Amino acid sequence: MLGIRLILIGMVLLVVVLTSGVVAAVLVPVGLRARRAEAEERFEEISRRVSRGAMRLEREGEQIAVALAANPDISHPLSDSVEHPLVDGMSALLHKGDHIFSAFIGHPNGDYIEVSKNEADPRIAQ
């Protein structure tokens, strides 16, 4: 009687273990595929958002460049003693652009003007 009970208990345990193994073998890959698909969707959404943000920043920079290029003072020679007439306009454009930190205008001879926001990063303003 005890032998039959042990055999039945062993068979039930064997069936439970085998069933659990089959279920795990089927469900684990399905779960991994689902997680991978979800991660790919999230990655694509994040990349779309980053791309849109980068395009916005690029347009903002292009608008500043076009505005500066249209200014007749762009060809005004640089001088160490006099502030260039474009500095005020460049500063105004930078303050309109939330994500632009600085603007440069370079001349063929290597001279350039740079205007930067100091308040863009509190560590810089200190």
- Whether the model clears a pTM of 0.85, i.e. scores above it, the answer is no
Burial string for 77-90 (b: 16+ CB within 10 Å, else e) reads: eeeeeeebebeebb
In sequence order, what are the beta bridge partners of 2? none
Per-residue pLDDT, 101: 79
Q: How far apart are CA 95 and CA 117, in angstroms?
A: 8
pLDDT tens digits for 89-116? Answer: 888 877 776 777 788 888 788 888 888 8
Please give the mean pLDDT across all residues of the chain: 83
Which tops the pLDDT comparison, 19 or 98? 19
Which tokens belong to 11?
């068979």
| Cβ atoms of residues 113 and 104 within 8 Å | yes
**For residue 86, which amino acid is it?**
L
